[in-house]
């Protein structure tokens, strides 16, 4: 049951991540996502075959349900519709990870201030709340990494515009992401653990 909860939390967390991109784009002048029907919680319009199904199931099976990760289909946007394409692209890129951080903070504060029922098997079970915080922190931190097509790359290119750097990162993006997924969690996990404790006052 816990493993199923992880998959459900992951699915809706990545959907909220993508919807946040779409709403940010709408506020900044681009209604592409709205016209394509992507500003909805309906999971069917957001599912990515590999990122939403295959990868989470592979991780689910290989880790015995203790760890799942994935992504939804990216919400499209047209930078030509944005009022300031370079700046606004960075803003809407940050909107997705920010949504995950806000979710982690809200559910983390429920834990910190004791709004849970340890013996209750539903929404306010402590284990469930911890999973929400953990999964959303993982999504936020991972997506803020400055590697295309992750959100952090657009933020990086705004603050440090360099065609050579951009070309290099795009050229080796798949390899870099693969290496991080296989070997990089040791670098990411201390930050996730710190934020988890900061938000909840508890350990994993």
pLDDT in tens, 139-171: 999 999 999 989 999 999 999 999 999 999 999
Q: Is 40 exposed, middle or buried (0-12, 13-18, 19+ CB in 10 A)?
A: middle
Cα separation, 98 vs 77, whole angstroms: 18
Looking at residue 89, what is its pLDDT?
95
Looking at residue 185, what is its pLDDT?
77
Question: What are the Cα distances from residue 147, in Å, to 47, 84, 99?
Answer: 22, 22, 19
Tokens encoding 122: 């539903």
Q: What is the pTM of this model?
A: 0.89
CB of 149 within 8 A of CB of 173? yes
Tokens encoding 139: 């999504």
Confidence category of residue 30, pLDDT binned at 50, 70, 90 = very high
Looking at residue 136, what is its pLDDT?
96
Which residue range is the domain that position 84 belongs to? Answer: 2-200
pLDDT over 80 (residue 116): no
pLDDT over 90 (residue 172): yes
Question: What are the Cα distances from residue 74, in Å, to 4, 70, 79, 82, 105?
Answer: 24, 12, 14, 18, 24
Mean pLDDT over all residues of the chain? 88
Confidence category of residue 184, pLDDT binned at 50, 70, 90 = confident
Is 18 designated active site? yes
pLDDT over 60 (residue 86): yes
Q: What is the mean pLDDT of residues 68-89?
A: 88
3-state secondary structure of 70: coil
Query: Which of the following is catalytic: 13, 14, 15, 18?
Result: 18
pLDDT over 70 (residue 111): yes
Total domains in the chain come to 1
């Amino acid at each position: 049951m816990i493993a199923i909860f992880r998959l459900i939390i992951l699915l809706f967390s990545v959907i909220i991540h993508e919807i946040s991109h779409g709403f940010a784009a709408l506020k900044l002048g681009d209604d592409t996502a709205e016209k394509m029907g992507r500003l909805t919680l309906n999971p069917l319009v957001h599912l990515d075959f590999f990122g939403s199904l295959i990868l989470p199931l592979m991780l689910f099976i290989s880790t015995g349900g203790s760890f799942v990760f994935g992504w939804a289909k990216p919400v499209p946007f047209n930078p030509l519709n944005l009022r300031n394409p370079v700046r606004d692209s960075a803003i809407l890129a940050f909107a997705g990870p920010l949504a995950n951080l806000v979710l982690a903070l809200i559910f983390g504060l429920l834990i910190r201030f004791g709004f849970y029922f340890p013996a209750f098997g539903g929404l306010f079970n402590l284990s469930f709340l911890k999973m929400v915080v953990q999964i959303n922190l993982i999504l936020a931190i991972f997506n803020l990494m400055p590697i295309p097509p992750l959100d952090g790359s657009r933020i990086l290119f705004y603050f440090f515009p360099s065609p050579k750097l951009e070309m290099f990162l795009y050229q080796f993006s798949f390899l870099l992401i693969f290496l991080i997924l296989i070997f990089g969690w040791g670098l990411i996990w201390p930050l996730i653990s710190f934020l988890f404790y900061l938000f909840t006052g508890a350990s994993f």
